Amino acid sequence: MDSSSLAANLLSFFPNPTPSLLLPSKRFFIPSRPLFLPLRSIHGLGPSPSLSSAVARETPFALSDPRLKLLRLAAEFRSLPEPVDRVKCLLHYASDLPPFDDDARTPGNRVMGCTAQVWVSASIDSSGRMRFAADSDSEITRGFCSCLIEVLDGALPEEVLEMRSEDLGDLNVVGLPGRANSRVNTWHNVLISMQKKTKALVAEADGRVSAEPFPSLVIGPDGIHAKGSYAEAQAMFLAPSESKVEELVNVLREKKIGVVAHFYMDPEVQGILTAAQKHWPHIYISDSLVMADTAVKMAQAGCQYITVLGVDFMSENVRAILDQAGFEKVGVYRMSNEQIGCSLADAAASPQYMRFLEAASNSPPCLHVIYINTSLETKAHGHELVPTITCTSSNVVQTILQAFSQIPGLHVWYGPDSYMGANIAELFRQIACMSNEEIAEIHPQHDRSSIRSLLPRLHYYQDGTCIVHHLFGHEVVEKIKELYCDAFLTAHFEVPGEMFSLAMEAKSRGMGVVGSTQNILDFIQLRVRESLERNVDDHLQFVLGTESGMITSIVAAVRKLLDSGPSSGRARINVEIVFPVSSNSVSRRSISDSQELEATIAGDLAKLAIVPGVAAGEGCSIHGGCASCPYMKMNSLRSLLWVCNELPDKDNSLLAYQASRLNVKTPLGNSVAEVGCEPILHMRHFQATKKLPEKLVNQILNVT
């Protein structure tokens, strides 16, 4: 396709910019119609744009300062009032891009996150300045690369590193500054790649040893390959023992037992369950919201028992929802005779949290938005103090925005996760800086004024954290910035603010996601599908910013995608999942305990003698953290098999394993189970209608 045809196809992508003063450029691009240009450029230093490019190079604006180059480049595009002229100008830059060495077209030089294939190489010359080369299989992207090289080639390393993605918004070449558009993302992702290479070259020149990378699993057409001991420990259970799978399936089928498990399960358990799903349909691995709903479907399909692999508030919810659905006779069993706690649920059950809600009750009209990861008793007690709706990490933002839009003057009190509360507040502050049009895309009934007005009326509890996501702190963030700044970054909404900000920045350029475990899984699958559709060799790298137990579901989903469709003519796609984990977050075990492995990953993995956890036992090192929940790991394969084999419980040997049926009363004398379920029902109504239910609104407004 020639330049004119390509330009015509892209007209709709380049809206007219505001006319701006033209600064002298090294090139003189002739637009399709005459431009009015001033006789003197800024400060009177530059020549008229009608001068030749050779003369223009001799002006003070041709010095090596990247910011002056960027200013000149931005003005050059802004000066062109016709979209077709801006496209042609970009293509003209593409034609000036020097040839790229074929030997440099390596996976290490590929830029992730671009729709097209993009390569960038870097070096430091004898004068200590950066030298860049780039290429792409897209002419438009080659134009972007040429512009960035125009700005940064020959710059000092510190000048390259000082350049921010936000600075590129001044270019306005695409006419969509600040939006996560694939073309805009190209600017940002190529810049990030240039900066990463610059950091590495400077460290090498200074004789500094680069940081040891995090462990990772690579899923590809040749199977699964582990990098690092922690990843090897995870990989051990991805090909489970066939005899164990058969043993579990037989007892589940014989006794009509359903299994609902959380994403954060032990990798051994998840490996067995994932394999068993192919032979018994009533096994489901999900986030906490879906577990109870799935249990109801299993009961409807004839399951007589439900085993819950999670923490205690999950089994309580399953029990209560089954009772409400009329399945009181279906047994619900936990995997331990001891309490399986949760740091967030414990925080919400504290006297401090009740005092937080008492303060909320004194600021009518008020709504308590409580995280799903809390007990029914907490939900019930909270609901009697303040009208309450449950939320998840994937719907909390929309829940709060809808509440503010639906009830004037409302005060929202969120808890108990302090990091999520702070992240929500920061997100709203960022939204308040967006245009009204962009805000309307998030929620149609809000604008800048309404977002700013709600900020003082948003309150969040400040003494509750998830012990796993707490580990994604400063040290982990700094290492991600150093080694994985160009990778896809996933983060749960519960992570600390520094990790949240990093993931939000990645999200703004199409390279990240912030949300629930399901949101993270969906994001990874989406990026893999996009790569498969492009059908070019690719290596996708994802930093897993949540509990490491997610890996089993991720591997299963990615394998399914990679194995779909015909194999002939298919590109080689490798998907790397990176675990933010420290080197001392593993401990030794005997080789004899290793699981049987399939031939594809036997070999070296069969010789491993390590499991996740610090030497003192299950847990995480504070220096990076293994992101492994010790409570979730109380759900073992041995317990699951033992509970299943003991059913039906004729001699009451499983009394301590039964999920609690809350027959206790609230302070007002109501049933904890009934009152505690109401906030969940309010959330389900919101999910179905996108509005708060009338009953909840009346409770907030104290209307009987």
Q: Helix, strand or coil for residue 391? A: strand
Q: Which of 114, 366, 626, 677 is catalytic?
A: 114
Q: Contact at 8 Å (CB) between 586 and 229?
A: yes
**Is residue 672 within 8 Å of residue 319, measured between CB atoms?**
no
d(CA 169, CA 181): 12
391 as an active site residue: the answer is: no
Residue 248 per-residue DSSP state? H
Q: For residues 324 and 676, is the Cβ–Cβ distance under 8 A?
A: no
Q: Give residue 118's Cα distance to chain centre.
A: 23
Q: CA–CA separation, 434 vs 437, rounded Å?
A: 8
Q: How far is CA 253 from the centre of its chain?
A: 36
Q: Indicate the residue type of 62.
A: A
Taking each helix axis as running N to C, give the angle between helix 396-406 and helix 418-431, from 0 to 180 degrees, rounded to the nearest 10: 60
Instruction: Determine contact, residues 258/307, Cβ cutoff 8 Å.
Output: yes
In terms of Cα–Cα distance, which of 124, 184, 126 is closest to 153? 124
Contact predicate 608/575, CB 8 Å: no
The secondary structure of residue 171, as a DSSP letter, is: G
Distance CA 635, CA 618 (A): 13
The token pair at 5 is 């045809």
Q: Report H helices in 580-671.
A: 637-646
Sole residue written with tokens 């993270």: 520
Q: What amino acid is encoded at 27 in this protein?
A: R
Give the catalytic positions in this structure: 114
